Amino acid sequence: MKAEAYLEEVLAAFDFGAPTVGAIRFGQGHINDTFVVHTQPEDRCCRRFILQRMSAAAFRHPDQLMENITGVTEYLGREIERNHGDREREALRVIRPRNGESCYTDRDGGAWRVYPFVEGTVCCQSAETAELFAASGRAFGRFQRLLQGYPAQTLHETIPRFHDTEDRLARLKAAVKEDRLGRAAECGREIRFMLDREADCSVALQALRDGKLPLRVTHNDTKLNNVLMDEKTGEGICIIDLDTVMPGLAINDFGDSIRFGANHSAEDETDLSRVNLDVALFDTYTRAFLEGAGGTLTKQEIEYLPWGAKLMTLECGMRFLTDYLEGDVYFHISRERQNLDRCRTQCKLVSDMEEHWDELKQIVEKYSRSM
Ligand code: ADP
Ligand code: GN1
Ligand code: MG
Query: What is the number of the ligand 2 atom nearest to the C-alpha of 226?
Result: 5
Distance of alpha carbon 240 from alpha carbon 225, whole angstroms: 9
Q: Which DSSP category does 214 fall into?
A: -
Q: Is 323 in the pocket of ligand 2 (CB under 6 A)?
A: no
Q: What is the pLDDT of residue 41?
A: 86
Q: Please give the model's pTM, rounded to 2 decimal places.
A: 0.96
Classify 294 in phi/psi space as left (phi over 0), alpha (psi -120 to 50) or beta: left
Please choose, from the candidates 324, 309, 168, 314, the residue with its C-alpha nearest in 3D space to the C-alpha of residue 249: 309
Please choose, from the candidates 87, 127, 112, the residue with its C-alpha nearest in 3D space to the C-alpha of residue 262: 127
Q: What is the pLDDT of residue 367?
A: 95
Q: Which DSSP category does 59 fall into?
A: -
Task: For ligand 1, atom 26, name the residue with the nearest CA.
Answer: 117
Distance 363 CA to ligand 2 centre (A): 27
Please choose, from the candidates 136, 10, 151, 9, the residue with its C-alpha nearest in 3D space to the C-alpha of residue 74: 151
Q: What is the pLDDT of residue 369?
A: 86
Distance of alpha carbon 278 from alpha carbon 257, whole angstroms: 13
CA distances from 112 to 106, 115, 267 (A): 8, 11, 27
Q: Which residues surround ligand 3, an ion (CB under 5 A)?
A: 29, 226, 241
Q: What is the pLDDT of residue 43?
A: 81
User: Which contiguous run of DSSP H or E holds residue 216?
Assistant: strand 216-218
Distance 78 CA to ligand 1 centre (A): 22
Mean pLDDT taken over the chain: 97
Distance of alpha carbon 207 from alpha carbon 209, whole angstroms: 5
Task: For ligand 1, atom 17, name the residue with the nearest CA.
Answer: 27
Cα-based torsion angle of the residue sequence 12, 17, 23, 25 in order, rounded to the nearest 10 degrees:
-110
List per-residue pLDDT tens for the chain, 371 residues long.
999 999 999 999 999 999 999 999 999 999 999 999 999 988 878 899 999 999 999 999 999 999 999 999 999 999 999 999 999 999 999 999 999 999 999 999 999 999 999 999 999 999 899 999 999 999 999 999 999 999 999 999 999 999 999 999 999 999 999 999 999 999 999 999 999 999 999 999 999 999 999 999 999 999 999 999 999 999 999 999 999 999 999 999 999 999 999 999 999 999 999 999 999 999 999 999 999 999 999 999 999 999 999 999 999 999 999 999 999 999 999 999 999 999 999 999 999 999 999 999 999 999 998 87
Instruction: Return the sign of the alpha-carbon dihedral for residues 204, 208, 210, 211.
Output: positive
Q: What is the pLDDT of residue 184?
A: 98
Distance 79 CA to ligand 1 centre (A): 22
Q: What is the pLDDT of residue 45?
A: 82
Please choose, from the candidates 150, 72, 76, 158, the residue with its C-alpha nearest in 3D space to the C-alpha of residue 111: 158
Distance of alpha carbon 274 from alpha carbon 355, whole angstroms: 16
Distance 260 CA to ligand 3 centre (A): 12
Q: What is the pLDDT of residue 44?
A: 78
Q: What is the pLDDT of residue 48?
A: 97
